Amino acid sequence: MNSSTAGDSIGADFRPFDCDNHYYECEDAFTRHVPEAMRHRVVQWVEIDGRRHHLVGGRLSNAVANPTWNPIARPGALHSYFRGNPEGKNPLDLLKDREPLPDAYVDRDARLAVVAEQGLEAIWLFPTLGVLYEELLKHDVEAVGALMVGFNRWLLEDWGFGAEGTIFGAPYLSLADVDLAITELEWCLDNGARTIVMRPAAVETATGPRSPGDPVFDPFWSRVNEAGITTVVHAGDSGYSTHGYAEDGFSSSGVSRGTGRYRPSIKAFNIERAAHDWLITMSMEKMFTRFGNLRIASVENGSDYLGPMFRKLEQQARKSPRWFDEDPVALFREHVWMNPFWEDDVDEVVALMGPDHVIFGSDWPHIEGMPTPLDYLPEVAGLSDADRRLVLRDNTRALTELRPA
């Protein structure tokens, strides 16, 4: 879709700002800036039966079947499946149409051209594998730190943190070592980062798991609050266990080891649980009172849980009147921005959060996203022109600007 067609489709004089785009990591993304002595504890390449795979922390990763990405399934390959699978197809059959890896998935200049062709003003750009590997390394805090630091330097070199005011690559941060996280945050700010990204999960530290709102992390959140940089919590491997109901461990295939065939499971059914728990924990820990300038964007985590979550949070506030200093639901709506799955009821999310706290993201070029970013437009057709502009552009544009305290 070219930019003039996109503008006509929106019926307005603006181009959307997509809050959820992805790159596919190049071959040395996880090794280029990792000290050689640490690589065996972080990520290595290995060839098995003629195919290349990643060893993460010395163990074979099954996060994706082919980390070379070539060939790759087309953007939005599972679009019809998430639309309700009207033809009743096996999802694995929908992934058989593959293409050589396009330059725009791995090259900044090629992507800049595609962003313009797609009719977008700008994009936030996130990892594909980079949000999956902290979980596999979580018991080696030093390795997590080496992964974070090395990956972010690769990201700055290959994509940048604000290329031509159009591509805003988000550096990945882990709180596993809070002192290193603060140092890395300062490096990100010094190099022009406009957002940071982390996974929705408890933090595995050298002394065990902790809530992201634990006071031990206050120095980090204090600096985020002071700098006014938006924190994106993005879907990834959060390490959630199904407690025996299904196979644990992140896999992109959905294939059961027992049958070798695709089957639905509670792990996919309940995929929003990690973000729900992370966000509700931030509320319960009174993070939005303690750090009044925090801005949290929940991206590719869905939103169907919002209504029940708000009801339970209101109930908890009534039960614990001496704990909450302010209305926790009002604070949530003030400090959190939601990117609904496109198959969610976007109108309902706008009603729950307000149009100024909902952001559009296409997940392009991932298989579960939109075939093209502006295929999202029908999902916001019921909004007023003013609200549609907020969701499609203005909210994400504002979140991209630093807001120092």
pLDDT for the residue 2: 40
* C-alpha to C-alpha distance for 157 and 137, rounded to whole angstroms: 24
Residues 6 or more apart from 222 whose CB is under 8 A from it? Answer: 291
Phi-psi region of 300 (alpha: psi -120 to 50; beta: other; left: phi over 0): left
264, amino acid identity: P
Lookup: tokens for 80: 């019809």
Tokens 């998935």 label which residue?
A: 105
Average pLDDT along the chain:
93
CB 199 within 8 A of CB 234: yes
pLDDT average, residue stretch 258-271: 70
CA distances from 156 to 72, 172, 191 (A): 24, 11, 8
Lookup: tokens for 98: 């593959």
CB 302 within 8 A of CB 275: yes
**How does residue 109 score in pLDDT terms, banded at 50, 70 and 90?**
very high
Nearest alpha carbon to residue 380 among 371, 396, 391, 370: 391
pLDDT for the residue 240: 82
Lookup: tokens for 39: 């690589």
Q: Give yes or no for a cis peptide into 371 (omega within 30° of 0).
A: no
The DSSP-derived string for 48-82 is: ETTEEEEEETTEE--S-S-TT--SEEPTTTTHHHH
**How does residue 247 score in pLDDT terms, banded at 50, 70 and 90?**
confident
pLDDT for the residue 7: 46
The DSSP-derived string for 205-224 is: ETTEEE-TTSGGGHHHHHHH
CATH number for region 3-400: 3.20.20.140
pLDDT average, residue stretch 280-304: 97
> Coil, strand or helix: which one is 102?
coil
* C-alpha to C-alpha distance for 55 and 354, rounded to whole angstroms: 44
Least reliable range by pLDDT among 79-83, 96-100, 150-154, 312-316: 79-83
* C-alpha to C-alpha distance for 184 and 175, rounded to whole angstroms: 10
pLDDT for the residue 257: 54
Position 76 pLDDT exceeds 60 = yes
Question: How do strand 43-48 and strand 167-169 relate by DSSP bridges?
Answer: unpaired
Please give the model's pTM, rounded to 2 decimal places: 0.94
Q: Name the percent of the chain lying above pLDDT 70.
A: 93
Least reliable range by pLDDT among 243-252, 290-299, 310-319, 376-385: 243-252
**How does residue 319 score in pLDDT terms, banded at 50, 70 and 90?**
very high
* C-alpha to C-alpha distance for 317 and 121, rounded to whole angstroms: 41
In this structure, how many other beta carbons lie within 10 angstroms of the beta carbon of residue 93? 11
Position 400 pLDDT exceeds 60 = yes
According to DSSP H, which parts of 233-305 are helical?
266-269, 273-284, 287-290
**How does residue 9 score in pLDDT terms, banded at 50, 70 and 90?**
low
* C-alpha to C-alpha distance for 383 and 349, rounded to whole angstroms: 11
Nearest alpha carbon to residue 174 among 160, 188, 158: 188
Position 77 pLDDT exceeds 60 = yes
More confident residue, 23 or 83: 23
Lookup: tokens for 180: 């290193």
Domain ranges of the chain: 3-400
